[in-house]
Amino acid sequence: MRTLVGFYILCFLIEQNLPFLLANDVSSIDDSTQNLCLANRLSDFLPPPYSNISDSMPCTPLWNTFVLRYSENRDNVVTIIVSALYTTGWVGMGFSKDGRMVGSSAMIGWISKKGHAKIKQYYLQGTERDQVVPDQGELQLQKVPPVVALHGAMIYLAFQVKFSVKIPRRAVILAFSTAYPSKLGRLTKHDDKTTVIVDFSKANGLTSIKTTVSTDKTKHGMMAILGWGFLLPLGAILARYLRHRDPLWYYLHIGIQFTGFIFGLAAVILGIRLYNRIQPDIPAHRGIGIFLLILSILQVFAFFARPQKETKMRRYWNWYHHWIGRISLFFGAVNIVLGIRMANNEEDGWKIGYGFVLSVTLLAFLVLEIFRIRGSIGSPSSHTPPSFETHPSSTSV
């Protein structure tokens, strides 16, 4: 009966919390953004062949003031016109195999201080400025020259690119900066960027898929750090060093671990959703994530199936629960570090944030372990034997 009640409580918690944790940030496109599609007749200022087909292209507001128009022929040649509000600096559109900036190729356009239109392909080898290489990239540009034009308050980048394989949904990187590139074409750091998934197979651009991958990456990272990086280690620490406060330590341990499990499960679901969208080449991160999901589910089932303390099986169950928990926490920390590294965030916020959480956790463990060895904390009261089995519902951590 206890097992069934606990299982139903777990299902209720997941049902109530996951919709909140996984709520989509579907950015609404207001009327003013959609009006950017109707603001100008591109055939009035773009040269052929862009002027010949621009008015019949589907128009898709993507992000911020970025608007995409595109047309694809049977040879997988896509004519692309991307526009955005412009004052100074540069705007760009890149194509990525996995949604990440590193390894992508981008078309960048700007109007120089002297009024000269510039457009180049760049290959993004890394996140440093000297790793963004001009006049290189993997985009197969066609014989039709790329064009950049300024009309009113909008800048327009037009180019033709051929893809070797017809893939309807592609990860597209959008970025801009208000600072001009150098005279040699070296880009300044972007002011803002995002990654979206565009479905080029849709006839009506306004119904194209515009899911912000960077938002889902942020959610995935936050859920993983909150669950595997903070709550689950906290629950383990309380069970190990707060045992003299019986049964408080037990109920805190159970409540925090189940909450951490829910956040960890949310991180896994978000990770699966991201993988299905952009198919990133991350076998280590993905494999460890699946491994952690299996271990955490086994821990939940083990809790509901734990034997009574009087049985011989309780000792083996304690060993199992103890070591599976430690292994899970270790690989959880490893996978968070891998995820932060593979995300290639230019900002140091993620590294500093998780570095702080990990440092505090390790420091707390070392200090508390010293006190525990000295007998100051973590031991049951003097009138009970020094064994974790003094509480009928306790577990070993």
Task: For each of the domains in the chain, give its residue range(s) and CATH number, in order of start.
Answer: 32-210 (2.60.40.1210), 213-374 (1.20.120.1770)
Which amino acid, 151?
Answer: H
Considering only CA atoms, which of 334, 282, 284 is closest in space to residue 274? 282
pLDDT one-digit tens code per residue, 124-172: 887 777 778 888 888 888 888 888 888 888 899 999 888 877 666 777 8
CA-CA distances (angstroms) from residue 305 to 2, 4, 296? Answer: 9, 10, 14
Distance CA 139, CA 152 (A): 29
Is residue 13 very low, low, confident or very high in pLDDT (cuts 50, 70, 90)?
very low
Helices assigned H by DSSP within the chain: 2-21, 31-34, 50-53, 213-224, 232-241, 248-278, 283-304, 313-343, 349-373
DSSP string, 114-153: TS-EEEEEEEE-SSSGGGEEET--S-EE-SSPPEEEEETT
**Model confidence at 394: pLDDT above 80:** no
Q: Is the pLDDT of residue 65 over 70?
A: yes
The residue-averaged pLDDT of 77-94 equals 88
From CA 170, how far away is CA 99, in angstroms rounded? 9
> Residues 6 or more apart from 22 whose CB is under 8 A from it?
219, 266, 269, 270
Most confident by average pLDDT, 40-54, 64-78, 321-335, 346-360: 321-335
* Highest mean pLDDT: which range of 43-57, 133-147, 367-381: 133-147
How would residue 387 be classed by pLDDT, with cut points 50, 70 and 90? very low
d(CA 153, CA 86): 6
pTM of the model: 0.54
Which structure tokens are listed for 120?
Answer: 């180049």
pLDDT tens, position by position, 213-244: 567 778 888 999 999 999 999 999 988 888 88
d(CA 351, CA 353): 6
**Residue, of 73 and 153, whose pLDDT is higher:** 153
Q: Taking residues 179-203, what's their average pLDDT?
A: 79
pLDDT at 54: 60
At 279, the pLDDT band (50, 70, 90 cuts) reads: low
CA-to-CA distance for 244 and 386, rounded, in angstroms? 10
Average pLDDT, the chain: 77
Tokens representing residue 320 in the block: 């199992």
